[in-house]
Structure formats: structure tokens, C-alpha cells
Structure 1
Amino acid sequence: MDPCAQDVIRCDLCETAIVQMYCDFCHVNLCITCIGKHVSDDYDKHIVVPIQNRKSTLIYPRCTTHDRKRCELQCKECNLSVCSVCVFDQHLGHTFSNLSKVHNARKADIGKDEEEIQNIISPKYDEIATDIKTQIANLKENYKKLTTAVTTYGEEWHKEIDNVINRMKNELEEMGIAHLDILNRHLDEIQQLQTLIEQTLLTIKRIEKSNDISVTMEYSSQNKEFSKFPPKVQVTLPTFSPNTVVNPNTTDSEQVYKLLGSLIPLCYTTEENGYTLEKTETLAKELMEKPELVSTIDTGYEKLSSVVCLSEEDIWTSAKVNAVMKCFNIQGSLIKTIETKSGERPSGITVTTDGSLVYCDRGTNTVNKVKSGQTEEVIRLQGWIPQHLCVTSSGDLLVIMLRDVRNSDDVAQSKIVRYSGSTEKQTIQFDDQGQPLYSSGPLNKYISENRNLDICVADLRAGAVVVVNQSGKLRFRYTGRFSLRKRIPLIPRGIATNSQSQILTLDRDTLFIHILDQNGQFLRYIDNCNLNNPVGLYVDKSDSMYVAEMNGSVKKFKYLQ
């Protein structure tokens, strides 16, 4: 007999023919001949599908009260799965949820658990374990240095005190053994928890591949327990403190020991909550599962490009092919318009704390301020083109600018310049290795200051969010989220920050909004917004989110609760 034939799936009824079909309700393998036999009873729930499509239908649990009935509802009062007969029997007058919706919601929660374990909890345990291993790896060298110090010090004295020095060395050896034992025990504890986490991930993956509702409903999240990290063990290395004044004629061994110096004994502490998840520090407000569309404003632009908030009720907008900037109230009524001095489109707009509009005029390479209907030139650039800008919490202007190479042989460059009024205060262009922080191409860059005073730039050409601190030192680059299989690239259009110091940026290709914490850690996506070619993003002081769409619409969303 061909050994490979043993792997062929056979019909569950005749047990000889090769299976071709599958009853997705009864979970029975069938050959073509046996289909009629299987469905010949008076039961009308059979779902026969090709074998390759098996298990595509949800598997509802059987009712424990009514034979041959499947539970398709969840009783909210009793928290039990029930069939249609139960509704009019033991559960009369109760309220019910569709079990498939409950199942899908639980699946979504399980997916979040998996994501939290993979992206936050498990990496944190890896970090803890790596730190302990590093301590262990350096332990021998650290104690070697201490022993060398003691030995060198001892060699300066005559043989009468050799016993004292040897005593110190023996004590160090014992402390080293105790130190190593403490760290090993702590590492064992962490690794045991890591093993539990790996087993939980395997269980979650099996649940995700299964359509068995009973298995899904039996799942109990352990993320809360995993997030309660064990006490952090901190072990302090012993220190050697030699005396500078010693009487070499002393013969009493104990007195000589004290005169030579002393070893501060090995000690360690166990710190509750010593390990923490960084994300828990930033989420004072909860991210909504699905953003709520509050309002939609039709600006009348054909190619809308930017939106900023004058207040919670008024917004300013600008377009790619229009020199006119428009102000609307939240009901969508046009309040006022302003035209650029050059008659060319503005390359960036923002508003100051006193309600003034500030815009970049590409036609004149200037930054202009509009207050009470009067336009004032604030900054005039030589050899640079202003591209985008924002107002900082201190009232400074941060201007992204490109080197003007249209009529020169200069190399294309990009930089950020901080202005106080018309005075240049700071230039941000290169990292510590002298490499450009930002791409040099003409594609848009967007800028925002975070609540922690970091300067955040969405660089479309580079496909990255580049964040530097207030001094201009690079903190991190975010180029997209890494899954277990590959990196999902980012094409950022627009950037904003909120009251939690979180960073939001639009992805041109997926239409997702990425949310990062202030340290560049990916938190989650905002999707389900039904966006149409989004090109601009803004978050107001109340954490409402505004998205500008190329077709001229501005959509206001509530995404935090």
C-alpha cells in the first residue's frame, strides 16, 4: 500500500471514498455519493460545502435544554448562550444579543490581547530579561575590578596584614556568589512568566484559527495578570573604601582590618512595581474603539490641503490651487476669506494663541501674519522656500523650509528654523553624525510641537515621522509598524499631537491614522473613518480630530473618551 495514501482524508460515512465535501454544521467529511444519505433526515440545518471551504460557517453551541437546537443568542441577564426556544421558556422577558456579534467582539478583544502581548508586554519581559543577563554577564568583571583594587591596596602593606586582605577577598567571593544567586533566582522567575506568555500566545492563535464559539467564549484574558510585573530586584554591588591614614605598626588583626578600610556588604532590595509599561503613563483618556463622526464641512475647494482650528467652533482651511484661505464655523458657514499677497497658494497655515492666522507665501518666500484683517510680513527668507509651519506653546514659530535651487547650483536641503517674532533663534537640520534629519525633496513635510516640547515632523518623501527634542537632538524615527512577518511602510500625510503627548499621522496608502506615544511606541490605528484621499490632520485643544480630504471636505471626529 502506498504510504502516502494513508494521509488522504476519507469520507466519515462510507470510510472508503476520498472526501470531497463537508457539512459545515455537523462537521462531517463527505464524499459525493454520501451527501444524499447525510441530508436525508428531516433536519434542515445541514450546510454542505466543498472540502476546501470547510469551517467557514460559525459553529454555534448546542442547547443543553432543547435537543437538536443550536444557541444563536446570548442572554444579557443570565450571561448564557440560549436557543430560540429558550427565549420563550426559562428566559422569557430577558434581553438578548446576537451570539455571532458577541463572538466577533470577543474575537476582536482576543486580537487586542495578542497585539498587546506581542507589541508591549512580551517585549517588556524581553527587556527585563536582557537587563538581568547583562548584569550577570558584567558581574564577574565588576567583582574582578573590586578584587584587583583590594589586592593592589594590600600589596602596599607588609605581610603582617595579608590575612586581613585575604579575609576581604573571601568576603567578596561570598558576596559575589550571593549576588549571582539573587539575580539567577530573579531571572528564573521572569523566564517562567515568559514561558506562560508564550503558551498564552499559542492558545490565542489556536482560538483565532478556530470557529468554535465555545472555545472562544471559554477564553479568559490573562493580560491584566501579565501586566502586573513581579517586584523588581535591585542588588547593590559592595564597595571598597580604603583608609588614607593607616598605622603600619598595628599588630592586632581586627584593628588592622578596620584601619585598612572596609567593605560595604552586599545588599539588595525588592521594589514593588519596579517594572512598568510605558503606554500606561500616556493613556489618561481612552481611545474609542470606533471614531465618531461629529460633523462634515464642505469648503468648496477642489484640492483642499490644510486645516487648522482657530477655536473649537471656527477653522481655517487652504487649498493647493487657490490663493484664498477660508474660515468656517463648525456648522459649515463661511465666515471670512483672506488672499495671499502674492496671489499664489499658501504652502502652510497655522493660528496663534491670540487668534491670528499665519501663512507661508511661496510666491514671495515670506511668512505673514493676518490680524483684524490686516496682513503683516513677519519673516522674509533669502534662498529658502517656506513649506509648512506651526506655533509652539511659547509662541515661537517653527518653519520648515526647502533650499531654493531653482536658479542656482545649490544642493537641495531641508531644515527647521525657530523664530521669536522675526528673530531667528534656532536651526535644526542635522543629527549627531552630521546626517540630514529630513529629506531634501519637494514633497510635503508637516510639523507639530508635542506637549513635551518635542518637534514632530511627518516627512512624506522619507516615509517617516521624525521627532527631535526641544534642543534639536534626534529622539526617534517612526517608519511604520512591524508585524511578525514584515514592516508595514508609512506614507505620512499630516501630523498632529494631542493632550496625552500622543502623535497622530495619516497614512496615504492605507488611510489609517497611526497613533504613537511620546517615545515613538506604536499604540494603535484609527480606522473605520471612511476617509476619501485625506491630505491634512489637526487636533484641537479638546482632542477633537479634524481630517482634510482632497475633495474639499473637512471631517470632525471624536476619537478619545
Structure 2
Amino acid sequence: MDPRAQDAMRCDMCETALAQMHCDTCFVNLCKACVGEHMFDESIDHKIVKFKSRKTTPIYPFCLHHSKERCEMYCKHCDTPICTACITSDKHRSHKINQALQMCDIIKQDIRKDIDVLRVKLTPVVQKLIYDLEMKINEVEEKCEEASKLISKQSDDWHKEIDKIVDQLKTELEKTKDEGVNLLKLQKSEIEQTFSKINAAIQSKEEMLESNDVGLAINFKSQYAKFCKLPIPVDVPIPSFTPTEINSQSLFEQFGVLSMGSLDCSISSTDMSSGPDQLLRNEAEEIACLCTGFTFLYGIACQSNDQAWVRGGYADKEMNFLKLYDIDESREIKSFSLDTVPSSSIDVALTKRGHLIYSCSFTKTVNIFRGDKLETLIKLEKWSPRGICVSSSGDMLVTMTQRNKSKMVRYFGTIEKQTIQFDDRRKPIEDTDSFHLYITENKNNDICVAGKVMVMSFNKTGTLQFRYTGPKNPTKWNQAFCPKGIATDRYCHILIADTDNKCVHIIDKDGEFLQYIDCGMRKPWGLCTDSSGFLLVADSKKKSGEIVKFKYLADVKALTF
């Protein structure tokens, strides 16, 4: 620490004597002895005041046109400070001139107002946001720690169960071994005794051959029949172990679910709050466009910020294709032909592990590509799957129809967890004969479904929250509202493809209309948003088949968590 920190202010020139004076021009502290030396530089108009009166003398800026002059006046017409030499020039003739100090007083009043606004209104809001974020940070850390402990406990429990299974198998194996070995040892002992008797008989017979005793030879009797009746070998079971093939996905699903809930996406402040419309650009900007060559383009799912899966088809081929494209580099990466599936309702999505899944109404299945291997996850009998998405918790949400009925089913793996009938009275809607029922989940865990003539939003318990049938005073529509693809973003906006009207609707989480994205002559169908906040649109216009990348969000980095 500076030893003079608690001392009186010293002269900046000699650094020893106490400061008694101050130069308001040069902002230096001076003792009386050093004032003369400081004033020696006559090129500067020094303002020497007592130390206690420092910063009371107005400091005027130097003139840009007359370097040695100070601007003590202010030209209101030119909105700039000027010096006396400027006043006498023709440049400011007939302009209204004020004292610069007067203008400074007026501006300082605005500064005080700004300080009051910052201190009284904004500071508490920012402090509350900081506090809320600290609480959320603590909550995330605590929840992650809690989840980590539960995962460790589950691991210990699994190891205990595995140890029990291993112990049980080894106990059974040891018992089988003991019983079998004991039987074999007993039989071995019996045969060894017989073997000793055979050796003794051989030795006895050899002695007879060498003997001259005729009586022994006459009394000879063969013992072969006695010894040839050997014991039947014991049939002892030979144990073996055949390990079951490990199914990693099945084990992963049985082990437990790591649910990814989301923080509140709204900014809770009154004076600083930005409405959803303030987070949007005045007009969406087209960033990139890729022509796929498809005649028709429908579903789309983002694999990364620059890659997306699409489902498309050709007018002259009764089949569907799933293709992966790099949008920024305008190239195809991978392709799957669903030649066994004619024109039908197919939607695509990606699992948390990046596996492509798709629903097919023709086969009534939900399928998954693990690498290049196609598997069937769910096979329905009476219902036809339509829209599909993966929730933040990793669950799979599937819309399905049966004649004029529709429902949404939540799957954990292949296990049905929840069913929502699309009606606030929990009765099937009778007029939902839409061929497509696209579905997505909002950041606040609301479920949004695009039906035949409306968009419906349900909370996670299945309660209907609102129906959206278009803005109250439409300015763009030429055709009836018939939504197709649907997507959401990090601000809980809901984006809806209005194919016939060639635009995308943006509504907030409560169903209020905010804005259109004009797609020009394109007919938007499939929609998805990437992690950077761009919107990808699959164009279904015949003979077009374009993937278009839009920037529709404003620069709101300061408001993001």
C-alpha cells in the first residue's frame, strides 16, 4: 500500500510539500513554491485556484479551428462549441449563439435526469436480474449435484444387483461343480480298487506259470468275467455360460431418465422488460438458400447450425427421401430412399443423441436410423402417426389420427407415458381430418400442435391454453389459414408455416400475433430453428424444393441468459 495513502495530498511537482494550490487547466496539485515554475509555460492559459476550490473553474474545450483558443460559446445552429475567433468569422453569421456554460447547465440537467433514471429505475431492475440469475445458477448447480448423486446411487444399486446375480450364478456353478466332481471322484476310487485287484490277479497268475505245482494249475479258474464288469461312467452335467448381447439403448432407457427442464424464458422486470415483438427484427433477412432438387419439400429438422435433415419427394416418383444437407456449403451429405413407402404423411426429428427418427402414416410406425441401420421403434395398429418431435427431457411426442379423431402421445423410449386428447373437455375433436398434425414443445414445456385450421397449445399436464386461428385483423391473407410446420425458439416464440399465404406467423407463448415473415413466392411447409436463432424453412412450392435460412431475431445478447 502507498505509505502516503492516509497522508495529506502532496504537490505533484516536488512530491514533498503539501498541496495548497490546484491548476484547473492541467489538473495538477501544487505547493506555493511550485506555482511559478508551473506557470512558466505561457502557451497554456493556467487557472490556478486554492486547493479547496479545485474543479470549480469551468474548463472549456479547445477550438478545433483555432488551436490556442478555448470554446466559451455555443452555436445552436451548428450544434457545436465555438471560440471568440469563430464568432467573428463569416461561418456563424446570423447563427444563434449562447454561452457554452449555459448550454452545459442545460445538458447537466439532462444528465441528472439520466442519473436518476439509471439509479432509481434501472439499477434495481438490473440488481434483481443479477440476483435472479444467481439464484438460477445456484438452482442449476444444486439440481445437477442432486441428479449426480441420484445417478451415482443408481449406479451403486445396479452394481449391487449385478453382484447379486453374479453371486447367485457362481453359487449355482460351484454347487454343480462340487456334485459332479464328487461323483467322478467316487467312481474313480472304485475303478482304482478294481485296477489294484486286476494287478494282484495278474501277479498271482504269473506265479502259477513259474510254479511246478500241478495242483495249482489244475485248480486254475479265469477271473476275467469277474473284472470285466466295469462300472458305467457317471453322466455329469457340464456347465456353460452364454452372455446375453448388451443392448446399450435398452440399458440407457432402463437406467433412468435425465430430464432437461428449462429456466423461465421471460425477463421479469417492469421498466426494462422487452416485449416479444422487441426481440424481433422489423423485417426478416434471408441469409442462405439451398436448392435440393426435390419437386416437393416438407419436413425439416436441424442437426446443427449448418446441417439439416429434410423429407422430400419428386412428382414423377411415388416415394419419399430423407436427406441431410449442409446449408452453408450447399451440399448433400447423406441420403435414404424410402422406396417402400409411397406418398404418405412423414415427419422427421432428431433424438438427444442425434439419431434421425421419422413417423410414417402408411406403415403406421415410428422409425429410427442408428448410423445407417433402420429400426422400428413403435408399431401402431389402429392409429396413424403424424407429427413427431423430441422434448427437452428426451421424451418423444407423437401426434396420431384415427378417422376423425386425433391425440398426442408422449413416449419414454417405447413406453407410453401420457396421452392428450385434443379438446379442453378431454373429448376427441370430431373434425380433425388433417393429413398433417405437426408438433413442437416450447421452452416452457408447453406443447404446440398445428391442426387443420388452427394451432393449439397445451401445458405439460394436457390442459388446453389457447387456440390460434390467425391475427384478428389480417393484412396479408388471400387464402384461409391452414397451418403446416411449426417451430419454437429460445424466447418462447411460436412460428407457424402458412403455406397458402406464403408466410410464417410469429406468435408469443400466450397466442398473441406478433409478426409475419414474408416468404415471397415460396410456400413454407416444414420449419425448424437452430441453436443460434436462425429459422430454416422447407419450401413446398412445386419444382422449387428450397431450404431457406432466415434471420428474424434482433440482436438481444444483453437480454439473453
TM-score, scaled relative to structure 2: 0.47
Between structure 1 and structure 2, the one with the greater Rg is: 2
TM-score, scaled relative to structure 1: 0.47
